[in-house]
Amino acid sequence: MLRFTPLGVRWAAMAILLTALAWFAAWPSGIGTAGATEGGLADRADFDFRIEQTLGTMLPLDALPSGAQQVMVGVYPINVYELDLDANTYRMNAYVWLRWRGDFDPVGSLEFANSLELWGFTKELYLETPKELPDGSKYQHMRIEGRFFQPFDLSQYPLDRQELSLWLENTTSPIDEIVYVPDHASGYGDGVNIKAWDVVSYGASTYLHEYGTDFGDPSEPQGSRYAGLKFSFELERNANMFVWKLLIPLMIVMVTSWTALLLSPLLVEVRMAMPAGALLAVIFLRDMVMSAIPETPTLVLADIIYVLSYAFIVLTLVQIVWANLRMNKDSPANLAHLTHIDRWSFVAQIALFTLSLVLLVQLA
């Protein structure tokens, strides 16, 4: 009868464990190589690679390709609503029409490239078949409604300008075959009234979308170059936001802080309390103004204005502390000298703060 000592059991278990580890380490590469070889598509080295090709680009189309069929496209927004800065989206309801010549129908291949929530996007054709116009061209009319993606730049908030764009592309024919041209009859209705925003302009531009890939079909080297159109609103945030919610409350708080410099140097506690309270008030004002936009990783214009305010309030506090350290209560000449410095500082700080604020607004 076989007997196993404890030492022998341990050595046997270790040998089995090492054998299993070696087998499992070799198993994936063996299977992977075999699968690739049998499929005839790739070898093991092709399973791991780096993407080194260039990314897709959108370029302005200065000249129409010769020989390409031209499709005239018009867009007439009826209303724009639910502008969401957090999600970088907006919703739009609009009329869209196409006019073209030839025996093809570009309606089915028309894509609204920046549309989201395709399950909620609606496209209603008004004509069962394209209508032939007296000049021989064909015409189709539709109504669309959906949610669209639009990246917003908040760096100049609350004096920022934004663009609401509608991107249209042809999904089946490259730019050498079909190109879009904006119809000058495009416009927008009086229902386009976006809360807290003013519409500055509405326009259109053609572009070339180079995707930078053949989408896995090497037989179509030009298949990744498509023509498109961009219809866009230029919006400007209503100035009331800046004047009544930021500028006027901030100036009232700052003047309260600077008024401490007009008090006698002997009133140290009162002089210290006024800018300290102003500092807290500016912090609360900043939170209120910034609550209208999502958090951003960089400073926006409003942040810079408030940082400037913090600096001037701290400067006032430092001057009050300095005056208290230099003050001699028994010397009228000393008190008069400190008061004179405070008066000049009062005027200089207001002038410098106002100049800095004007420069920031002009550069926005």
Determine contact, residues 199/235, Cβ cutoff 8 Å.
yes
DSSP 116: E
**pLDDT one digit per residue (tens) for the chain, 364 residues:** 445 455 554 555 565 665 655 555 555 444 444 444 444 455 545 555 565 555 667 767 777 777 888 999 999 999 999 999 999 999 999 999 999 998 888 998 899 999 998 888 999 999 999 999 999 999 999 999 999 999 999 999 999 999 999 999 987 887 888 889 999 999 998 889 898 899 999 999 988 877 777 677 776 654 477 888 999 999 999 998 899 999 999 999 999 999 999 999 999 999 999 999 999 999 999 999 999 999 988 999 999 999 999 999 999 999 999 999 999 888 999 999 999 999 999 999 999 999 999 999 998 7
Residues 6+ apart with CB under 8 A from 23: none
Pairwise CA distance, residues 80 & 147, whole Å: 10
pLDDT at residue 55, as a whole number: 62
The pLDDT, as a whole number, for residue 4 is 45
Question: What homologous superfamily does CATH list for 240-363?
Answer: Neurotransmitter-gated ion-channel transmembrane domain (1.20.58.390)
Which CATH fold would you assign to the domain 57-237?
Acetylcholine Binding Protein; Chain: A, (2.70.170)
The confidence score (pLDDT) of residue 97 equals 97
CA pair distance 110, 171, nearest whole angstrom: 7
Task: Give the 3-state secondary structure of residue 189.
Answer: coil
| The pLDDT value given to residue 241 | 87
pLDDT of residue 35: 43
CA distance 234 to 161: 7
Q: What is the pLDDT of residue 30?
A: 42
Q: Which of 259, 242, 261, 262 is nearest to 250 (CA)?
A: 242
How many Cα atoms are found within 13 Å in the side-chain-facing hemisphere of 101? Answer: 8
* Chain position carrying tokens 């008030």: 281
* Tokens at 334, concatenated: 């000393």
- In the chain, which segments carry CATH 1.20.58.390? 240-363
Q: List where CATH 2.70.170.10 sits in the chain.
A: 57-237
Phi and psi torsions of 99, nearest 5°: -140, 130
β strands within 57-177, DSSP E: 57-60, 69-84, 89-100, 110-112, 115-116, 122-125, 131-132, 138-149, 161-170
Residue with tokens 């639910």: 82
d(CA 253, CA 277) in angstroms, rounded, equals 9
